[in-house]
Amino acid sequence: MNGIKKIIRLVMKWPPALVTILVVALIAYATLVPKPLGDNDIQLFPGFDKLVHFIMFAVLSMALAFDYGRSKGDYAKIKISRSALAVMAFLSALTGGAVEVAQGAMDAGRSADWYDFVADSLGAVAGVVVFAFAVRRLGLDEKHGRIRLVEAGACLPEEVKCIYMASFPPEERRPWESIETLQADESSPFHVSLILFEGKVAGFISWWRFDGFVYVEHFAVDGSMRNYGIGSKAIDLFVGSMDRCPVVLEVESVDTSAEAERRVRFYERHGFVAHHGYEYVQPPYSPGLPSVKLVLMSNPEAVDLERAAATMHRHVYGVTD
């Protein structure tokens, strides 16, 4: 079972609609090309060709549902309603009808057979039924894997520490003991939001609530769960939970590395604006560590950068002058 889920989650990384395109291409070849198997006419039993049509359009309806569902779901999850499943079955059956019309119109040694269309339609319906059952059985339905943001308690889970240490270099992280102390202090403006997937910690966002804006200090997703959309969903949920309060964060400049450029582009896709013209330096977290030249980003754009930087330096990094 786990092996099947791993294969499915691997396929879910494919480009949108690729599975459907491949299935449609195979069906077009099998139904519209004269003698697709050469002179080998396979007929294992009477009505075998109808079974083949049934299977082809069952697979097509499953491919349609799969590509649609993965475009709507979260991290390796499929989100599709019953009405959407019905639409996928209809589109699959409609394609079957179009194939029969094309066969009748083409002078290619193929002819329309409306019993084939009946088999196509039955296969299309059976396909979405099997698809819905398989998705539930494998635990891939989106309702069982919704990504949530949850405010952490005074005692942070060990998973957060592991993700934190693995995601940031020493000059970009405060001592872990400092984080634990801040989180345990109920009067502190410091907070940690856990990113949960299937009830498990998949990442975290540490942030500060100041007068007039929110500062995201650290945001990371477990390395084994990246590239599945968890970060995208989490940052959207976080910004949406701030009640239109501006969100400010620090990033490396795009000319620092390819990874830094990807990170900036990620935030830009989620509504953040990079303030490249504003000179900003992150003070060191601890004595002996270097300052780091970074770029401020904000969502929305309208933020008093001087005030935000001064507030962050004073409260986050302890710079008093």
Q: Give the mean pLDDT of the chain.
A: 88
Contact 196, 252 (CB under 8 A): no
Q: In terms of domains, do 140 and 19 share one?
A: yes
End position of a domain, from candidates 126, 144, 162: 144
Q: What's the token pair of residue 169? A: 């270099």
Of the listed ranges 50-54, 119-123, 145-149, 278-282, the least confidently predicted one is 145-149
Specify the pLDDT at position 289. Answer: 83
Structural domain including 47 reads 2-144
Instruction: Say if residue 245 is in the same domain as residue 166.
Output: yes
Q: Looking at the predicted structure, is the pLDDT value of residue 25 above 80?
A: yes
The pLDDT value given to residue 38: 60
φ/ψ (deg, to 5) at 219: -145, 120
> What confidence tier does 307 reach under pLDDT thresholds 50, 70, 90?
very high
Q: Is the pTM of this model over 0.75?
A: no
- At 180-237, the pLDDT tens digits run 999 999 999 999 999 998 778 999 999 999 999 999 999 999 988 876 778 888 999 9
Both 79 and 61 in one domain: the answer is yes
Distance between CA atoms of 197 and 314, rounded to whole angstroms? 35
125 & 194 share domain: no
Calpha distance 127→216 (Å, rounded): 45
DSSP output for 75-113: TT-B---HHHHHHHHHHHHHHHHHHHHHHHH--SS----
- Total domains in the fold of the chain: 2
Q: Do 133 and 245 share a domain, yes or no?
A: no
Closest C-alpha among 263, 249, 232, 257 to residue 295: 249
Instruction: Tell me the CATH number at 257.
Output: 3.40.630.30
Is 138 in contact with 8 (CB distance < 8 Å)?
yes
Q: 205 and 181 share a domain?
A: yes
Are 166 and 279 part of one and the same domain?
yes
> Is 309 part of any domain?
yes
37: number of Cβ within 10 Å: 9
Based on the domain organization, do 97 and 160 belong to the same domain?
A: no
